[in-house]
Amino acid sequence: MSFLSVRALSKHYGPVTALDAVSLDVRQNSRTAIVGPSGSGKSTLLRIIAGFEPAASGTVQLNDEVLVDGPNAVPAHQRGIGIVSQDGALFPHLSIADNIAFGLHRRLPDRDKRVRDLMALIGLDHAMLDRRPHQLSGGQQQRVALARALARQPRLMLLDEPFSSLDTGLREQMRQAVTQILGTAGITSVLVTHDQAEALSFADQVALIRNGRLVQRGTPEEVYFRPADRQTALFLGEAVILPARLNNGTATTALGVFPTNQRASSGAAEILLRPEQITLCAPVAGQPQLEIEHAAFSGANWTLQLRLIDQPNHPPLHLRVSGIDMPPAGSRVGLAINGFAHVLGQDQVAA
Amino acid sequence: MTQAQLSAASLLHDPVGRAPLRLRPQRRLFSPVVMAALLVSLVSLVPLGFVMWVAVDAGWDTVVRLVFRARVGEFLLNTLLLELLAVPLCIALAVTLAWITERSDLPGTALWRAVAVAPLAIPAFVHSYGWISAVPSLHGLPGAVLVSVLAYSPFLYLPVAAQLRRLDPALENAAASLGKTPAAIFALVVLPQLRLAICGGALLVGLHLLAEYGLFAMIRFDTFATAIVDQFQSSYNSPVANLLGGVLVLCCIGLLALEAIIRGRERYARVGSGAAKTASRHRLGRGMPMALGFVILFAALALGVPLLTVVRWLWSGGLAVWPVAEVGTAFGQTLALAFGGGILAAVIAAPAAWLAVRAPGRLQRVIEACHFYVGSLPGVVVALALVTITVRIMLPLYQTYATLLIAYVLLFLPRAVTALRASLAQAPVELEWAAMALGRSPWQTIWQVTARLAAPGIAAGIALVALGITNELTATLMLSPNGTRTLATQFWIKTSELDYAAAAPYALMMIVLSLPLSLLLYTRAQRASVR
């Protein structure tokens, strides 16, 4: 049974469609990531769930209570939904302690103790309670924003690109900390992000949104290895996409014949291989051979440009591989494929 | 989180004991804010509607008979000459002052900046009073040009100096590396970038020249404004005054159109990213005495003459001209009107400012244009419109403080909208959302977050309107209820009786009241340009 249920939600800004009949289910105590390029409507969806914007049509239910029904909605302040936004949105005129206590009732008996407990939970020193938001680093501000939202024990926590204004290293660390804190508190959460790596590592359900339409949803592994269409495949990570002929569970491509994950299909289609599935090997007779035209080193990986020797008209293949003993440019190599090739569907929404 | 913490949490967010949530309609065709802003816009259109009504009501023959006269032609010529002489002189003076204070190595920058802005704290008619006392023979066009250039130069100095501070020195360095002399760089690179600031400031000066009554009446120079007030005082509600008001509005519209054409649509902002460096200052070298002489001369003419006159009259009048009770009453009344009007203007401007920040759009731009145009109307026209309307359809409001305050609000609406708009931008909508997600109702949010963060800007807006009201003479003379004694009207009555000594205490009190408000305006302008 779903805890948060979004049904056929639509929203327009003048002639622009921001959301087009989006439906989404979120289980209790789960983490969902809504991922999409900027302008895809993902933040609009979040703002409608939070109650900051009205919808044109569709419903939102939380724990069987109707929050949005077309243009009718429960005001944001009555929903009991917490939110952490991109820059934290801490009140600049209040101290850290007052920011965290902002949502607590004034006469709550153990107000101060709760604020201190929350500071401990987010791993900040009590000495910071009297500081102002501008005296904290970006990561610390985000932690305070999380504590402020947690103070009210929200039924649902919305995270609106909360890590995107942080440095790369800090982002990773904050993501882990937040994931752990939310898990400890047992709060259902929905993260909105344009960073696919963030979405895949944070969530146990990933929902892809593009041009206001929900394109695909599933576990991170599902959406990564079995994306619905070409655009989704490219958005979620590096991809080798090849034209293929399907026949009885195999795909015949310029790089060879691979097993696919779709037995039923046949005919022309595109297949997806993730770079992780491909390894270089010594050239094998009877298999397509490639020549390394160019190899660029970037630390953990090599980016190779490969030419198919038997098919001079085939466009060169770009491949990111890891390895310590890379053959020099000009060498001939073969490719070994692990796992299944995924058959891509037609693009569902034009870019 | 522990079980104890969870139970404590249930105190404030109890899923069992909580009242069931109720859906409310969120979309309305016109929100109350839009309705309020539309209402204000409608009221702001009243003076324009009045002018049109006057022309239609009088009929074409009357218009021809009363407007196409040699006397009106004389006003038109006077106005034209005044604009053509005073505005360019004002630009030259302000750009020179701004260059000296911002881009030269003349010591005492802070002092000279203050000197350049300070004439703002002296009402225009007190400038006039100072000059008439110092040079009794001064009158007509030369006097009008001299005094108005000195009195209104800060309107140009403020934007030009701010723009000069913002200019990217990289452009000037690039021009120098391409072989241009410093003089050529100023003409080819610096001056074009000042165009927007000069246009805006010149428009403000031009509109003040059209609207000003006290300054020109005292220096005996006939303009539309002086003629209208004279007509009005001899027989109020006269068609002549109303029609002249119509011609004056046409002049204002012409000026606005001219400025829009000259301003153009080109881009003058910096192209490229990254923070601009501050410009280096030019060495004056042997030009130093000349620059110093220039600013001292300006200080002497624009500040020395009026201030010394006030002091001289105070001295010659002695303590006898200090009717403490009367001056105190006038001071209190002015203070009450100024801040009452300021607060009222802030409240009335709030819907339009809120829309501009939170919900910009086509309707919002129309609303904002209504709020802004009315501020460029002369006080005489707004006063004429309100007198006629109250007399004809709302007699109980005629000559009441309510009508006077409405006039003030209309005249200074742009100041209030501008200040509020900027201050609302200090309270991003994300903070309002955060407050609502933390359980505050929309009204609580506005009060506890938005208003709290916007407070300094709102206060500045109130102060700016208060400064305008303190120095406002024309509408106050025409609209104030019997028994009103503001500093400006009392000063005017005394000088009209040629009792310059008795007028001095009122002039002094006006300056005392204006000085801190001007200072506030100046420091805010400084801070804004530093950012």
pLDDT score recorded for residue A188: 93
| Contacts within 8 Å (CB) and 24+ apart, B493-498 | B495/B129, B495/B218
Determine which of A93, A142, A157, A192 to mutate to test the interface with B (most B C-beta atoms within 10 Å). A93
Whether residue A50 lies within 8 A of chain B, CB to CB, comes out as: yes
Residue B77 located in a structural domain = yes
Structure tokens, A309: 């020797």
Closest residue of chain B to A90, computed from CA coordinates: B431
State how far the Cα of B224 lies from the Cα of B527, in Å rounded to an integer: 38
Residue B486 located in a structural domain = yes
Whether residue A153 lies within 8 A of chain B, CB to CB, comes out as: yes
B345 & B456 share domain? yes
DSSP sequence for B257-299? HHHHHHH-S---SPPS-SPPPPPPPBP-GGGHHHHHHHHHHHH
State how far the Cα of A52 lies from the Cα of A62, in Å rounded to an integer: 16
Contact B439 A77 (CB under 8 A): yes
State how far the Cα of A245 lies from the Cα of B113, in Å rounded to an integer: 79
Whether residue A347 lies within 8 A of chain B, CB to CB, comes out as: no
From A335, A304, A315, select the one nearest A243 (Cα to Cα): A315
Per-residue model confidence as pLDDT tens digits over B362-408? 888 888 888 888 887 888 888 888 888 888 888 787 888 889 999 99
Contact B27 A149 (CB under 8 A): no
- Helices assigned H by DSSP within B319-361: 324-358
B124 & B181 share domain? yes
B433, B449, B453 ranked by CB distance to A50: nearest? B433
A203-240 as b/e: b if 16+ CB within 10 A: bebbbbbbbbbbbbbeebeebbbbbbbbbbbebbeebb
Whether residue A94 lies within 8 A of chain B, CB to CB, comes out as: no
pLDDT score recorded for residue B19: 66
B366 & B432 share domain? yes
Closest residue of chain A to B452, computed from CA coordinates: A93
Structure tokens, B8: 């404590």
Residue B274 located in a structural domain = no
Chain B nearest C-alpha distance from A52 (Å):
7
Contact B449 A91 (CB under 8 A): yes
Residue B516 located in a structural domain = yes
Instruction: Give the position of tokens 């009501």.
Output: B57
Whether residue A230 lies within 8 A of chain B, CB to CB, comes out as: no
Determine which of B433, B444, B449, B452 to mutate to test the interface with A (most A C-beta atoms within 10 Å). B433
Contact A278, A335 (CB under 8 A): yes
Which residues in chain B have Cβ-Cβ distances shorter than 8 Å to A63? 15
pLDDT score recorded for residue B16: 41
Residue B181: pLDDT band with limits 50, 70, 90:
confident
Mean pLDDT confidence for B93-110: 89
B15, B434, B452 ranked by CB distance to A83: nearest? B434
pLDDT score recorded for residue B522: 75
Torsions phi, psi of A79, nearest 5? Answer: -85, -25
Torsions phi, psi of A328, nearest 5? Answer: -70, 160
Contact B438 A114 (CB under 8 A): no
Residue B2 located in a structural domain = no
Per-residue model confidence as pLDDT tens digits over A172-187? 888 888 888 888 888 9
From A47, A123, A114, select the one nearest A79 (Cα to Cα): A47
Please state, for a pLDDT cut of 90, what percent of chain B lies above it: 14
Whether residue A117 lies within 8 A of chain B, CB to CB, comes out as: yes
Amino acid identity for residue B297 in this structure: L
Structure tokens, B101: 């204070």
Residue B474: pLDDT band with limits 50, 70, 90:
confident
Whether residue A77 lies within 8 A of chain B, CB to CB, comes out as: yes
pLDDT score recorded for residue A348: 55
Per-residue model confidence as pLDDT tens digits over B284-319? 778 888 999 999 999 999 899 999 988 888 888 777
pLDDT score recorded for residue A200: 92
From A53, A49, A50, A62, select the one nearest A22 (Cα to Cα): A49
| Average pLDDT value for chain B | 82
State how far the Cα of A30 lies from the Cα of A217, in Å rounded to an integer: 14
Contact A54 B26 (CB under 8 A): yes
B74 & B215 share domain? yes
Contact B433 A184 (CB under 8 A): no
Which residues in chain B have Cβ-Cβ distances shorter than 8 Å to A90? 434
B109 & B144 share domain? yes
A81, A105, A186 ranked by CB distance to B437: nearest? A81
B397 & B478 share domain? yes
Which residues in chain B have Cβ-Cβ distances shorter than 8 Å to A154? 13
Whether residue A342 lies within 8 A of chain B, CB to CB, comes out as: no
Residue B11: pLDDT band with limits 50, 70, 90:
very low
pLDDT score recorded for residue A22: 94
Residue B526: pLDDT band with limits 50, 70, 90:
low
Mean pLDDT confidence for B222-247: 81
Chain B nearest C-alpha distance from A200 (Å):
26
pLDDT of B166 higher than 60: yes
Chain B nearest C-alpha distance from A58 (Å):
14
B8, B24, B434 ranked by CB distance to A72: nearest? B24
Contact B104, B282 (CB under 8 A): yes
Contact B24 A89 (CB under 8 A): no
Which residues in chain B have Cβ-Cβ distances shorter than 8 Å to A99? none
Whether residue A107 lies within 8 A of chain B, CB to CB, comes out as: no
Number of domains in chain B: 2
pLDDT score recorded for residue B276: 53
Residue B317 located in a structural domain = no
Whether residue A248 lies within 8 A of chain B, CB to CB, comes out as: no
Instruction: Return the ∠ at Cα A315 (arms to A314 and A320), rounded to 5°.
Output: 120
Residue B455: pLDDT band with limits 50, 70, 90:
confident
Residue B60 CB-half CA count within 13 A: 0
The residues near B328 (Cβ < 8 Å, ≥ 6 apart) are none
Distances (CA, A) of B358 to A11, B79, B361: 18, 41, 10
Residue B22 located in a structural domain = no
Better pLDDT: B511 or A262: B511
The A residues from 19 to 48 touching B (CB cutoff 8 Å) are: 47
State how far the Cα of A324 lies from the Cα of B511, in Å rounded to an integer: 81
| Average pLDDT value for chain A | 88
Contact A179, A187 (CB under 8 A): no
Contact A2, A57 (CB under 8 A): no
B461 & B520 share domain? yes
B150 & B250 share domain? yes
Per-residue model confidence as pLDDT tens digits over B216-227? 888 888 888 888
Per-residue pLDDT of chain A (351 residues; tens, 9 = 90+): 689 999 999 998 888 889 999 999 999 999 999 999 988 999 999 999 998 888 999 999 999 899 999 888 888 888 889 999 888 888 888 899 999 998 888 888 888 889 999 998 888 888 899 999 988 988 889 889 999 999 888 999 999 988 887 888 888 888 888 888 888 888 999 999 999 989 999 999 999 999 999 999 999 999 999 998 899 999 998 888 988 888 888 888 888 888 888 777 778 888 999 988 888 888 888 788 888 988 888 888 888 888 888 888 888 888 888 777 788 888 888 888 888 889 887 665 544
pLDDT of B275 higher than 60: no
Per-residue model confidence as pLDDT tens digits over B39-61? 999 988 888 888 888 888 877 88
Contact B436 A75 (CB under 8 A): yes
B301 & B182 share domain? yes
pLDDT score recorded for residue A44: 92
Contact B272, B170 (CB under 8 A): no
State how far the Cα of A59 lies from the Cα of B388, in Å rounded to an integer: 56
Closest residue of chain A to B18, computed from CA coordinates: A78
Contact B435 A102 (CB under 8 A): yes
pLDDT of B531 higher than 90: no
B349 & B379 share domain? yes
Whether residue A134 lies within 8 A of chain B, CB to CB, comes out as: no
* CATH number for B452: 1.10.3720.10
Better pLDDT: B526 or A157: A157
Residue B380 located in a structural domain = yes
B301 & B370 share domain? no
Structure tokens, B263: 């301003």
**Residues in B lying within 8 Å of A, measured between beta carbons:** 1, 5-6, 8-13, 15, 20-27, 428, 430-431, 433-442, 444-445, 449, 452-453
pLDDT score recorded for residue B237: 61
Chain B nearest C-alpha distance from A210 (Å):
24
Residue B232: pLDDT band with limits 50, 70, 90:
confident
Contact A77 B27 (CB under 8 A): no
B40 & B108 share domain? no
Q: Which domain holds residue B89?
A: 69-268+290-305
Residue A181 CB-half CA count within 13 A: 24
Whether residue A116 lies within 8 A of chain B, CB to CB, comes out as: no
The residues near A106 (Cβ < 8 Å, ≥ 6 apart) are none
Which residues in chain B have Cβ-Cβ distances shorter than 8 Å to A47? 433
